[in-house]
A and B are shown apart, each in its own frame.
Chain A
Amino acid sequence: MNRDNAAIQSLSFAIVGSGGAGVMTAGQMLLDAAARAGLCGLMSRSSGPQIRGGEAAALLRLASTQVESHGDRFDVLLAVDWQNAHRFASEIPIDARSFVVGDPAEGAVPEAFSAAGARIVPVPLKAIAKKVPGGRPNMVALGALGALAGIGAETLARAIEATLQKGGEALKSSLAAMQAGMAAVAEAGVSLPRLAAGQAAGRWTITGNEATGLGAVRGGVRFVAAYPITPATEILEWLSSALPRVGGTLVQAEDELASINMAIGASYGGVPSLTATSGPGLSLMTEALGLAVAAEIPLVVVDVMRGGPSTGIPTKSEQADLNIALYGLHGDAPHVVVAPNSIADCLPATQWAVHLAETLQVPALVLPDQSMGQSRIVLERPASLPLAGARLVAEPETANYRRYALTPSGISPMARPGTRGTAYTADGLEHSERGIPSSQAGDHLAQLDKRARKLDHADYSRYWAEIEGEGDVAVVTWGSCTAPVREALARARAEGVKARLVSLRLLAPAQPERLAAALAGVRRILVVEQTHSGQFHRYLRAAFDLPCETRVFHRAGPLPMRPGEIHSKIVKELAA
């Protein structure tokens, strides 16, 4: 148990194994069982480069309350086998208080793990499984971990049944293997502190990518164009079955140039549209993003960030697409960039992005990252948001219709094709109010002003940032860093540090006045982000007024940001 964490009561488990061992399935079942037992939790995955048969790790953190990120250490590392497991050593920090559960038949605990001085708990997973007809070691492991987590056999059984819905022999042997695993732990005489459980009823389990998809659907998106890319594919796959059920459509495109332009075409047709991708795909989309700015086409583009540049580290996380999201467009191209600040927030943040795109007639980028997208959490059913942004539509037969009319708000009615008397040509060329191509200085300035004005006048007050706590120091962060920052701040507060948290959800357009107000009375801030070059810090410097004392903690991915490392920076940089 992470006792050093005043805010979160949690237990962390890592299950490793290679090719076909079923560690992901066991992890998934453990999370499901924990949820049914009234716990909250988080599960992420890590794996080797092989498509099948490689080493894999399921990383879980179970807790009494909602958790959004991993802690500093793992309480239990269970290995079904040790093949190449050392590759996960940096992702699975263990210490002298941890248990390492391993099958003696699979050889000794690798140096990378044994060096931590953890207590080794030998459990002959294979031999136990063999005694059960059709039994598998991963189900023995599930039983063992379930027992350590204090989850009852009944609940574990329900989680297994929910996965093996076909029942039959496979179910029977899985249940028996699981029970044998529980018994083995009891025999070994190891235990962990109990987590206080809450009410399971009404809770959900969802991944960040699913939450993003659902946010889109809740926001009214009814057309999606898709080109697969890790780690965004699951958004597209989820939408592909969800959309037709609500009267929407998903088209698989030939590339990202096509997917974004398809979404633009559909949105031009009046249907709220989205595409999702990752860094390499976003790079291909930037020209069309500029088109959507110039032609004023509402559009949502989700970029689930992964390690970059180039193909980079597709399966791991980093926040380094911030620059391209903010600055990737050529010309003066005001647009919206929204970042969810937690896995759960993928839903409302995406829904808000749809709302902003539709009401402001701009492209809105949403920037979750791999660690959010591909992690599954347990949470209370997300509330509905009062965000049904509808675009301003031109009335039929509008006299002297001007698509790009210079209105006070900058938002001009957008005619829906098929409407009589308002035909116009949407254009990426600079244009007059009517949409006629123009290279005149006056038209250019007027349209630039108009497009900027729309964004300036919008009301972002409710969602632009999460601001928590009081104090004369603050941590300013965004995205997936928010959860470990929050946890680190909780520890620091318990130690008497009075500090605020400001996590920006709206990255563009920049809100310098709002940030200044949020930081009123703050004498020093610590900027926390997961980039090698400090992109967020540079952006804050460029577009915001910061208190004179600004400290920075930025580091590259792919290892997740840990509360502990942030906590020590807070102590060093802010507590003094």
Chain B
Amino acid sequence: MNIATAPQPFSANDYKSDYKPVWCPGCGDYSVLLAFTKAMAQLQRPPEEIAVISGIGCSSRIPAYTNCYGFHGVHGRALPVGTGLKVARPELTVIVAGGDGDGFSIGGNHFLHACRRNIDITYIVMDNRVYGMTKGQPSPTTEPDWDSALAPGGTGLRPFHPLVIALASGANFVARGFSGDPNGCADLIVQAVRHPGFSFVEILSPCVTFRPDQREWGKMVHAAPVNPTDDAARAARRIMTDDGFNTGVLYAGNRAPFRPQTAPAAGLDAIEAEFAL
């Protein structure tokens, strides 16, 4: 271990803005923000070369809390914004972040297609199995019997399985973290950013306000007892049969990332010539 490395230009704090989060104290999203700043410091990417893109939700407030370029768009559409940005500006590091409602419910279609398109971006979902921002309604990942005003007695619906869906849709990197372990999450984010193609990191991030029961998650999570695989079917089987609290890199694939069409350069005149008689 080499601890006497040269001082590095960027520390975690360099990725944090002076605008203070409005999240509830105790919310897992604070730790995800911390993990993000630590990860970027590990990567030593200058903050201005990173763009953090989000939709709407408590978790989606994250861009302005960073010192990077940020985009806080509309509910559910963060992935398309990130996709457009990355295709237009491939040299930027694009991180898309948000909640389970934003990503899997209103933005569900974009999630499938972002996995399939496999653009070289990282997608962090702070999964608290609830709509925090709208004061506690069930999300696609909520347990069927979770009681709430909008679904008294629970939805009775089977929760959505984002990691398996990501695999089935073609994501190239799939990991699960727990916000209570910001250093572990930072490592996952670093690996996700480094991995080519679409990297999906689901971070279990408790909503202490509407899901106080999730304060127990710290006791339930555990490191995945296996090494990551590049076999999607195997990864899917593992994830479908685990207890949902396995953390770590669960899949790292080898699919080539998306490449837009290219063509030999031509002037406008050459293009316009096709209209001439």
Contacts and interface: CB of A to CB of B under 8 A. Distances in A.
Instruction: Decide if A and B touch, CB cutoff 8 A.
Output: yes
Given A214-B275, A258-B79, 19 more contacts: A203-B276, A222-B88, A245-B266, A246-B271, A253-B80, A258-B80, A261-B73, A262-B84, A264-B84, A268-B81, A269-B84, A269-B92, A270-B88, A273-B84, A287-B74, A295-B71, A417-B69, A423-B69, A427-B72
A240 B91 CA distance: 22
A545 B89 CA distance: 46
B218 to A, nearest CB: 30
B167 to A, nearest CB: 18
Interface string B39-62: 000000011110111000000010
Given A35-B277, A223-B84, A418-B89, A425 B112 contact: no
Residue among A202, A244, A251 with max Cβ neighbours from chain B (10 Å) = A251
Contacts of B71: 265, 268, 295, 425-427
23 contacts: A204-B277, A214-B275, A225-B84, A249-B88, A250-B261, A251-B84, A251-B87, A258-B77, A258-B113, A259-B80, A261-B81, A264-B84, A265-B80, A266-B87, A268-B81, A415-B69, A417-B49, A417-B69, A426-B73, A428-B74, A436-B64, A437-B61, A437-B72
A245 B270 contact: yes
Interface in A157-190: none
A77 B172 CA distance: 59
Interface string B254-277: 000000111111111011100111
Interface string A224-259: 010000000000000011101111011101110111
Nearest to B65: A425
A265 B262 CA distance: 20
A298 to B, nearest CB: 13
Nearest to B46: A420
Contacts of B101: none
A266 B264 contact: no
Interface string A393-424: 00000000000000000000001011111111
A214 B88 CA distance: 20
B82 interface: yes
Interface in A266-296: 266-271, 273, 287-288, 290-291, 295
A261 B264 CA distance: 28
Contacts of B76: 257
A260 B80 CA distance: 8
Residue among A201, A253, A269, A436 with max Cβ neighbours from chain B (10 Å) = A269
A418 B77 CA distance: 22
Interface residues of B, number: 53
B90 to A, nearest CB: 10
Contacts of B49: 417-418
B236 interface: no
A203 B275 CA distance: 8
A261 B80 contact: yes
A273 B270 contact: no
A205 interface: yes
Interface string A326-351: 00000000000000000000000000
Contact of B275 (A210, A223, A250, A258): A210
Given A261-B73, A268-B71, A425 B84 contact: no
Contact of B89 (A204, A251, A270, A295): A270
A32 B276 CA distance: 11
Interface of A: 32, 35-36, 200-206, 210, 214, 217-218, 222-223, 225, 240-242, 244-247, 249-251, 253-255, 257-271, 273, 287-288, 290-291, 295, 378, 381, 415, 417-429, 435-437
Contacts of A435: 64
A206 B272 CA distance: 10
B129 interface: no
B63 interface: yes
Given A251-B87, A270-B89, A424 B69 contact: yes
Contact of B85 (A206, A250, A259, A417): A417
Nearest to A426: B71
Contacts of B48: 417-423
A424 B18 CA distance: 12
Contact of B109 (A223, A254, A267, A436): A254
Contacts of B46: 420
A558 B262 CA distance: 39
A62 to B, nearest CB: 14
B77 A205 contact: no
Q: Which 5 A-B pairs have the closest CB atoms?
A: A265-B84, A425-B70, A262-B84, A266-B88, A261-B80
A378 B84 CA distance: 36
Nearest to A275: B84
Residue among A240, A244, A268, A425 with max Cβ neighbours from chain B (10 Å) = A425
A244 B70 contact: no
A242 B70 CA distance: 31
B77 A288 contact: yes
A268 B266 CA distance: 26
B87 A205 contact: no
Contacts of A247: 265
Given A205-B277, A428-B72, A251 B63 contact: no
B263 A241 contact: yes
B67 interface: yes
B87 A254 contact: no
B277 A244 contact: no
B139 interface: no
A214 B275 CA distance: 10
A35 B276 CA distance: 10
B110 interface: yes
Contacts of A415: 69
B72 A249 contact: no
A36 B277 contact: yes
Contacts of A32: 277
B98 to A, nearest CB: 13
Given A265-B71, A425-B72, A257 B47 contact: no
Given A225-B84, A258-B110, A214 B89 contact: no
Contact of B91 (A205, A249, A418): A418
B12 interface: no
Contacts of A429: 72
A163 to B, nearest CB: 13
B88 A265 contact: yes
A290 B262 CA distance: 32
A266 B81 CA distance: 7
Nearest to A425: B70
B83 interface: yes
A206 B63 CA distance: 45
Nearest to A417: B69
A290 B88 CA distance: 22
Contacts of B51: 269, 417
Contacts of B260: 244, 249-251
Contact of B88 (A201, A223, A425): A223
B69 A223 contact: no
Nearest to B107: A257
Contacts of A423: 47-48, 67-70
A419 B47 CA distance: 10
B77 A257 contact: yes
Contacts of A426: 70-73
B81 A265 contact: yes
A291 B74 contact: yes
B227 to A, nearest CB: 33
Contacts of A204: 275-277
